[in-house]
Amino acid sequence: MTLSAFFQPNGRRLSSAGIVLLMAPFFMLIAFAFLYPLLSLLSLSVTEPTPGFGNYAKILDNPVYGKVLLRTLWIAVLVSALSLVLAFPVAMAMVSSKGPMALFITACVLLPFWSSVLVRTAAWAVLLQRNGIINSALQFLGITSEPIRLLYTQGAVVVAMTHVLMPFMVLPIYGALRNIPADYGRAASICGAGPFRSFWEVTFPLALPGVLGGVILVFLTALGYFITPALLGSPQEMMIATLISQQLREFLDWPFAAALVGVLTLFVTAITLLFSRVFRFDRMLGGQL
Amino acid sequence: MVEERRVAGTTAGAAPGAEISIRGLDKSFGTLKAVDDVSIEIPSGEFLALLGPSGSGKSTVLMMMAGFEVPTGGQILIDGQDCTRLPPQKRNIGMVFQHYSLFPHMTVLDNVAFPLKMRGVGRAERRRRAGQALEVVRLSGYGDRMPAQMSGGQRQRVALARAIVYEPRLLLMDEPLSALDKNLREEMQLEIKRLHVELGITVVFVTHDQGEALTMADRIAILRGGQIQQISPARELYERPANLFAAGFIGEMNMIPANWDGSCLMLGQGERILPPESAFVSQPVQGSTTLAIRPERLGVVPAGTPGAVRANLTEIVYAGAGTLIIARLDDGTEVRARVPSAGLPPLSAGERIGLTLPPEAMLVYGEIAA
């Protein structure tokens, strides 16, 4: 059998052998650059310094680690919620505008992708610093009498992470909204629904697959986010990624860092499964509009 | 029928259909004039079809009646109330869309009950009335299905149930059958016609299918370039089109150029024809006119018969009961005749024949066919 036979279209589908061949490079990359390091790291967590679950017990023993984990979850929830609230109107504007306006909004949404996360985070540091524009404005308006601490707070982390991750919320919602035929809105209004009810009864439920997709993307990314919390966050209020980095680089405690990675991975997996179970994710995406 | 009316919940007494008055309606999109000074009076309970080629403005008129588009000029009155700028949700109109537009995340029953929910009707009452509406479109027992589980024809009937469930006085339909296959389309035509008779509701139906308009509508409005060409009952539209566009748009029509000298018509090849007074749809000025006649009104006779128009037979298409004769006049004008096959003498292409034009079938227009 020649190689081309694998790709002979059978109807519109490739043969299963063809699919395997197409996916092979990707799987090899995943296995080499993700699965292998992850598994070797995780094995480190149960073999060093002594075999067993000592590293995990250490996480449970000290309430500080539990707090870090809870704080991380909380920040991820906040960032997801804030992104959703900000992203939905943007996605709706993208769908309902056309021509140059649509191009402009799309460019605004995608613009952050053209600069590095580091630059965007540093920009927030500039804005939020003691003598930054926000503190100056607050004083000028007489709201505060002296500079207040904005940088190195949980608030700074939430705001900046929302800014960085929002495009990941906008795009799936935009995709879902764009698939809703214009006639649905018309049908709702001729049936007697005003704009508000039309949104809650028809538009929002039909956009739900996009919303869930966006929430999962943003939430899971936020859970493991490093740069922004590291640069803008308070050292007293660490997130798990900064904690892992600290264990690795400052204390050189690889096995313990690996255990933390294990816990984070467990959470990510559990939350993904929960989402797909509760919201019947597969069915919603496969559902016919 | 009385029983069915009660089931559908029509208020006894008052006429169930709305009276519509469209006055001087205009709609421009930039420099394009989509609807140009359209005026239509629709009496209560009428079934009106808006018929025209794509781009004729028929859908735009409907969109303005529904409230999805705001007219640039003119007025729309429903039961005497000026609705020109009223938002759709306040118009109490039923509408069926081309692609059904059922909400895919709701069951069939919830779809049908949706307008009632928007009107604050309680849950139990909602379910009861939605169930009745499904009964009217013969879909009882399908309430728990999702729209995706229904066939195209069933979906369109659900859409119909949703449009009539709150007993609107006006039902708008935007090419509702064009997505269905031919057999289903004919079935749905009868279904919609039946509903119209049962409910007595006023219906405005947009279509580009002349057969559909002729079968279903009480009156047909023909549109072209945003302007109304003619509003007439089907039979009048067919037998006496108001202009050459209407003549050519509905059915087949022979259009023979002729010259009017003030007393009789002169064909290009020299025959003189004296049409009766009633044949003049528009009074020609002296000069070029068009003589129009339906193919089934022409007769085929041997060449040289007195009073017949001479022509060269170019093609004979035998189709069972009828035969299509295609002939050419000496000036090159193609003329088609549809005659009963029985009693037709043997003919062959190239032969010289005569065509009879019954005076009562003649139509004379003071314009020239494009």
Sign (positive or negative) of CA dihedral A157, A163, A169, A173 = positive
A197 CB neighbours in chain B (<8 A) are 118
- Alpha carbon of B164: minimum distance to chain A alpha carbons (Å): 10
**Strand arrangement of the beta sheet that strand B20-29 belongs to:** B32-42, B20-29, B73-78, B81-82
Domains in chain B, number: 2
- Alpha carbon of B115: minimum distance to chain A alpha carbons (Å): 5
CA-nearest residue to A195 within chain B is B89
Candidates A184, A191, A204, A288, partner chain B, best to mutate (most B CBs within 10 A): A191
Same domain membership, residue B67 and residue B15: yes
Number of C-beta neighbours around residue B132 at 10 A:
16
Q: Single out the residue of B254, B247, B255, B216 nearest to residue B234, CA to CA.
A: B216
Give the homologous superfamily in CATH for domain A53-286: MetI-like (1.10.3720.10)
Residue A287, Cβ density class (10 Å: 0-12 exposed, 13-18 middle, ≥19 buried): middle
Task: Quote ipTM for the complex.
Answer: 0.82
Distance CA B321, CA B247 (A): 25
Strands B202-207, B47-51: parallel, antiparallel or unpaired by DSSP?
parallel
Judge whether B93 is closer than 8 Å to chain A, CB to CB.
yes
Provide the chain A residues 156-195 that lie in CB contact (below 8 A) with chain B: 181, 183-184, 186-194
Domain boundary (B190, B216, B239) is at B239
- Coil, strand, or helix at residue B17? coil
In a domain, B19, yes or no: yes
Same domain membership, residue B326 and residue B278: yes
**pLDDT 10s digits, A96-116:** 888 898 889 888 888 877 888
Helix residue ranges, H only, chain A: 16-30, 36-47, 54-61, 63-96, 99-110, 117-128, 133-140, 154-178, 182-190, 195-198, 204-223, 227-232, 240-249, 254-278, 281-286
Q: Single out the residue of B6, B32, B54, B57 nearest to residue B22, CA to CA.
A: B57
Provide the chain A residues 190-209 that lie in CB contact (below 8 A) with chain B: 190-194, 197, 201-202, 205-206
**pLDDT 10s digits, A138-180:** 888 888 888 888 888 888 899 999 998 999 999 999 999 999 9
CB A179 within 8 Å of CB A289: yes
In a domain, B199, yes or no: yes
Same domain membership, residue B267 and residue B189: no
CB B164 within 8 Å of CB B196: no
In a domain, B153, yes or no: no
B66 and A190 in contact by Cβ < 8 A?
yes
- Alpha carbon of B141: minimum distance to chain A alpha carbons (Å): 22
A187 and B103 in contact by Cβ < 8 A?
yes
Judge whether B368 is closer than 8 Å to chain A, CB to CB.
no
Altogether, the residues listed in chain B come to a count of 370
* Core vs surface per residue B53-73: b (16+ CB within 10 A) or e: eeebbbbbbbbbbbbbbebee
Q: Which of A186, A191, A288 sits opposite B114 (nearest CB)?
A: A191
Judge whether B280 is closer than 8 Å to chain A, CB to CB.
no
Same domain membership, residue B259 and residue B202: no
Helix or strand holding residue B193 (H, E): helix B182-199
* Core vs surface per residue A195-207: b (16+ CB within 10 A) or e: eebbbebbbebbb
pLDDT by residue for chain B (370 residues), tens digit each? Answer: 334 443 344 444 467 899 999 999 999 998 999 999 999 999 999 999 999 999 899 999 999 999 999 999 999 999 999 999 999 999 999 999 999 899 999 999 999 999 999 999 999 999 999 999 999 998 999 999 999 999 988 999 999 999 999 999 999 999 999 888 888 888 889 989 999 999 999 999 999 999 899 989 999 999 999 999 999 999 999 999 999 999 989 989 999 999 888 888 888 777 888 888 888 888 777 778 999 999 999 999 988 888 889 999 999 999 888 999 999 998 889 999 999 988 888 888 889 999 999 999 999 998 887 6
- Alpha carbon of B104: minimum distance to chain A alpha carbons (Å): 6
Distance CA A238, CA A7 (A): 51
In a domain, B88, yes or no: yes
- Alpha carbon of B81: minimum distance to chain A alpha carbons (Å): 17
Distance CA B309, CA B288 (A): 19
Confidence band for A29, pLDDT divided at 50, 70 and 90 = very high
Provide the chain B residues 205-264 that lie in CB contact (below 8 A) with chain A: none
Q: Single out the residue of A77, A149, A159, A155 nearest to residue A123, CA to CA.
A: A159
CB B36 within 8 Å of CB B226: yes
Altogether, the residues listed in chain A come to a count of 289
- Alpha carbon of A211: minimum distance to chain B alpha carbons (Å): 15
- What's the pLDDT at B370? 66
- Alpha carbon of B6: minimum distance to chain A alpha carbons (Å): 22
- What's the pLDDT at B10? 42
B162 and A191 in contact by Cβ < 8 A?
yes
- What's the pLDDT at A9? 52
Q: Which of B93, B102, B104 sits opposite A190 (nearest CB)?
A: B93
Task: Write down the residue that tokens 């109490």 correspond to.
Answer: B92
Q: Single out the residue of B285, B281, B306 nearest to residue B293, CA to CA.
A: B281
CA-nearest residue to B69 within chain A is A186
Q: Single out the residue of A138, A160, A162 nearest to residue A149, CA to CA.
A: A138
B94 and A190 in contact by Cβ < 8 A?
yes
- What's the pLDDT at A7? 55
Same domain membership, residue B211 and residue B259: no
Domain boundaries, chain A: 1-47, 53-286
B110 CB neighbours in chain A (<8 A) are none
CA-nearest residue to B102 within chain A is A184
- What is the domain extent for residue B296? 252-365
A193 and B89 in contact by Cβ < 8 A?
yes
Same domain membership, residue B189 and residue B78: yes
A181 CB neighbours in chain B (<8 A) are 99, 101
Judge whether A3 is closer than 8 Å to chain B, CB to CB.
no
Same domain membership, residue B56 and residue B9: yes
CA-nearest residue to A206 within chain B is B105
CA-nearest residue to A205 within chain B is B105
Is pTM, for the whole model, over 0.90? Answer: no
Judge whether B99 is closer than 8 Å to chain A, CB to CB.
yes
Candidates A184, A186, A189, A190, partner chain B, best to mutate (most B CBs within 10 A): A190
A191 CB neighbours in chain B (<8 A) are 89, 114-115, 118, 162
B118 and A193 in contact by Cβ < 8 A?
yes
Same domain membership, residue B343 and residue B257: yes
Residue A231 has pLDDT above 50, yes or no: yes
Same domain membership, residue B195 and residue B66: yes
CATH number at residue B287: 2.40.50.140
CA-nearest residue to B112 within chain A is A191
Domain boundary (B213, B239, B265) is at B239
- What's the pLDDT at A10? 52
In a domain, B320, yes or no: yes
Q: Which of B91, B105, B148 sits opposite A205 (nearest CB)?
A: B105
CA-nearest residue to B146 within chain A is A288
Judge whether A216 is closer than 8 Å to chain B, CB to CB.
no
CATH number at residue B193: 3.40.50.300
Amino acid at residue number B284: P
Q: Which of A186, A201, A287 sits opposite B68 (nearest CB)?
A: A186
What's phi and psi for B364, nearest 5 deg?
Answer: -120, 130
B88 and A190 in contact by Cβ < 8 A?
yes
Confidence band for A30, pLDDT divided at 50, 70 and 90 = very high
Domain boundary (B208, B239, B270) is at B239
